Structure 1
């Protein structure tokens, strides 16, 4: 990965601006004073890549702060981009993010990335190499290697980073942390997190019938770093999440929202071991099948983490998706909702338990009567606006400059969290080599029969080398990382 030249000086910019950039009304901050510069009054000039769906709402939240000018929009699908183009009519529009950076990098400060998972890393790393602050939707990356690369790049290029994980800014996670730090649970040794996702198809064969992409969609640009396949129906804009080439399954979609609290409360870093069991689907009346291109319909993953400065020993974290839930704790009344019904987290300590819902919302001690009785002083500052303040927090940090203000989900935290989720996905994708490899029929179950031993320094599984091909995938020609 090669670094790009430092931003131009104020004098050089003013000398050339009369001819080259006379139409720019608000000068990007980094051009005026270089990295870390703080101007008394200006706006953050932002480019958005992936501006439909979640990207659309992200840009709207940035603009709502009153301190952001959305200057550039980029999307491979004109139809998906239509609302953002209408909301920000003065923004210049591109379909290829590489052209956006090549032509406009001097004219904006920060980039919001909300593409499908498989293109997160390439777009984000390129933006950081251009000196741009970045806001990236969860999960941070598609591959383990990419998560580590972005975490290191954030320090190297000294830019403000934030993963779009709104629960990290919620009051709930800070309440959970204060309860634990006050000793109300004793030492936590086990955590359960669960979700009712996926709500898109998983555990299915790749469609056999190719169709013509809609005229608004550039299919080649959408594929980006992924292997080429003909376009099929019902893949975009949502169902790509269930296919390993593009998505990261229920773990990638909801894991960041649910596992962020255990990471923060217990100061977890990298797992040391992982095992999994997964659900399968009926192919016909007598056979169950596994389709290796697709994430399974349900899974139960057990991650083991080494002891931290917040625990006495190793920590076991259970992840369950597809509607699987742990046993209800005895301290929870029979008519009390477990988590939020479909999703939740449960901390089990030697002296007590606590739980919360998605985004760490509605934190409760168990039995729930303890919640109101507990008198624990507030020791952690809250983010103004809570979960919705996640956006403004990043904007303020960008305006202040690298290292000047804290954000809730910088890559130094989001990177290890994402890595842990993707290590869990290794177990979901793995298989016992003593069995025949998956054929799409019969009794091949990924992840069953082995505990994978993970070495975070080498970024590899040490006892099943074949699975390491998923740590860093092969990129399509022309789309390599960096």
Structure 2
């Protein structure tokens, strides 16, 4: 939408929403209550949101956006049209959630009538929810190609990106170049160089950006008070471990060629990645286990737990990355055993150690990420009391003590060992609730202010998760030059930090 001023000058809708005064453009505003009753928000005052990614996670998060009065979804986009071949955590959980959202206990997803998914489902949920709320028909456009959507839907103010990991970077770049505000799920990109370029684009742009995991991160306030106060001595190690992967991991590339589901544009799903035959083992819930399409367990879960740790401890530019990973063996036709060489999928389990250089207030720190059931050595404070480490957790290990988080993320930390008297003296009242990320993003767009979880602050976690992937993929300990964003001791690994884009899919082309 463009608004004409008395001077004839046009103001773009996205600039207009950001707070241009009515006096400056010579408009007379009729109070909303006159138009539609108390609490009514005219469509012209709402943030027009495009929604990319209507798989199970995308549909699961859609109701929270639909319920925000200041926003309206005007278009959905997904290369898969119908609900075919989707997986979820329970057979009816998502279906029941969507039925409740639209107020229809008999609604079905169509397709194979198993798990909801696809742009048809997304479009139906949007249209039926708004029709229920307003008593009027609401038209939601549907696209298979986000590039076409951005070109045709000129009134889009913001976009929520819920696509597979390998498409995040190109979609975000396309939005930034068009001045469209972005809220997106992790990671920013599943290649280091692409992530860097997108972060830099965000820094140079006025576009408001928001990475969804920020609000789940808890707070470092109490932990920093204990560390800087000397409760555990000099900080030496930070451990974070997850029970992921909770999706199938494959030790071999697919060899069969099943039929492509009806209405699924496989070429668009591949996006910037190399062409290969369709296979369901690549898509939907299982994409995250492939280096080409996903970011592995750390990209999946580390954004929720470690972003605030990177910020609080000022961890950036690691100098050394050491992987440890599981492997899979097979039998040859001659009955001999062999280890399967695998640079295409993440391991079933692994750990990666990062060494971060000292700064002006702390010494060198090691960050150890573990997944697939691997946990750090059990501290004496646990085994002396016949306790096991939880399957997911976080631990800060100093020279003379240990701080534990009560959860996987930084919530309700406690001192396991160290100067307990000092720990009590430094106890703080800390709020660990950051509120609703999507509501805060919509308000950030309306107020024309950067969101708390801006892309601009996300380079350290983006850097780490992509170095994690490169280390596991190569199986080599890596020395990293952060200025050049290069591996110096094994130059061949640098190919894993960049993407070879298909024609039409480069950041400068989308």
TM-score by length of 2: 0.78
What is residue 391 of structure 2 aligned with on the other side? 342
What is residue 187 of structure 2 aligned with on the other side? 139
Distance 1:267 1:38 in 2: 40
1:42-441 pair list within 5 angstroms: 42-78=45-81, 79=83, 80-81=117-118, 82-89=120-127, 90=138, 91-104=140-153, 106-166=154-214, 168-284=215-331, 286-311=337-362, 313-332=363-382, 334-336=385-387, 338=389, 341-356=390-405, 357-367=407-417, 374-376=424-426, 378=428, 382=431, 386=433, 388-403=435-450, 406-407=451-452, 409-430=453-474
Distance 2:350 2:501 in 1: 27
> Would the aligned equivalents of 2:401 and 2:418 in 1 still touch at CA under 8 Å?
no
The reply to whether residue 473 of structure 1 matches residue 457 of structure 2 is no
Question: What is the CA-CA distance between 1:336 and the residue it aligns to?
Answer: 4.3
Distance 1:149 1:160 in 2: 16
Where 2:282 maps in the other structure, the secondary structure is: coil
Distance 2:193 2:19 in 1: 28
Distance 1:135 1:343 in 2: 27
Where 2:380 maps in the other structure, the secondary structure is: coil
- Superposition CA RMSD, Å: 3.0
Distance 1:62 1:461 in 2: 41
> Would the aligned equivalents of 1:44 and 1:67 in 2 still touch at CA under 8 Å?
yes
1:437-456 pair list within 5 angstroms: 446-447=475-476, 451-456=477-482
List per-residue Cα deviations over 1:227-277 (Å, max 9, x = no partner). Answer: 111111333211111111111222221222232242123111121111112
CA change 1:169–1:395 in 2 (3 A) is: farther
> Would the aligned equivalents of 1:122 and 1:481 in 2 still touch at CA under 8 Å?
yes
* Count of paired positions: 436
Unaligned runs of 5+ in 2: 23-28, 30-40, 84-116, 128-137
> Would the aligned equivalents of 1:267 and 1:309 in 2 still touch at CA under 8 Å?
no
Distance 1:13 1:364 in 2: 62
Distance 1:262 1:139 in 2: 17
What is residue 438 of structure 1 aligned with on the other side? none
> Would the aligned equivalents of 2:3 and 2:13 in 1 still touch at CA under 8 Å?
no
CA change 1:119–1:12 in 2 (3 A) is: farther
Question: What is the CA-CA distance between 1:28 and the residue it aligns to?
Answer: 8.0
TM-score by length of 1: 0.82
**Which has the larger Rg?**
2
Question: What is the CA-CA distance between 1:371 and the residue it aligns to?
Answer: 11
List per-residue Cα deviations over 1:46-93 (Å, max 9, x = no partner). Answer: 111112222223332233333221111111112223443232113211
